[in-house]
């Protein structure tokens, strides 16, 4: 499961379809409706909020918007609840870590998107506001 901290405009087709699917799975986990992935480290940032389902729903909402802009037919009714005014802190180190990780994936599977994204400065997903700091402690690949 990869719930990208990058703005969804950086994701290729496979990436945005995957994050939509994985975000819905994360919502299910946070609702207590599945036994799998309950200890997944990327869920920590949502669990550390006052309403994890609301925050993952907000995350999904912005994925939905990007998908709609690209002509995908994601079903907004699958999002339990959302609030577009919410924000979660994200460290600059985490943003750049994920940017480099995504570029490696794109270089292999979508060279055109890679060439577009490598020219861009990484931007966070709309749910996140940037703060100083390194890679987040919940990041599996941080060691």
Q: What is the mean pLDDT of residues 83-111?
A: 97
pTM of the entire structure? 0.94
Q: Minimum mean pLDDT among 34-38, 80-84, 99-103, 117-121: which range?
A: 34-38
pLDDT of residue 39: 86
Give the pLDDT band of residue 141 (cuts 50, 70, 90). Answer: low
In angstroms, the Cα distances linking 110 to 1, 65, 68, 82, 92 are: 20, 22, 21, 31, 25
Tell me: pLDDT of 56 over 70: yes
* 3-class DSSP assignment, residue 90: strand
Calculate what percentage of the chain has a pLDDT beyond 70.
97
Nearest to 57 by CA among 28, 81, 78, 36: 81
pLDDT of residue 143: 41
Nearest to 129 by CA among 87, 96, 85: 87
pLDDT of residue 52: 98
């Amino acid at each position: 499961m990869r719930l990208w901290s990058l703005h969804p405009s950086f994701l290729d087709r496979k990436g945005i379809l995957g994050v939509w699917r994985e975000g819905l799975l994360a919502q299910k986990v946070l609702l207590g409706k599945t036994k799998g992935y309950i200890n997944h480290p990327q869920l920590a940032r949502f669990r550390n909020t006052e309403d994890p389902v609301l925050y993952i729903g907000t995350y999904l909402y912005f994925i939905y918007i990007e998908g709609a802009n690209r002509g995908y037919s994601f079903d907004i009714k699958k999002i339990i609840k959302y609030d577009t005014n919410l924000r979660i802190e994200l460290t600059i180190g985490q943003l750049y870590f994920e940017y480099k990780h995504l570029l490696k994936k794109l270089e292999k599977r979508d060279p055109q998107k890679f060439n577009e994204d490598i020219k861009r400065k990484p931007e966070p997903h709309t749910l996140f506001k940037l703060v100083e700091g390194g890679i987040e402690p919940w990041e599996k690949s941080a060691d």
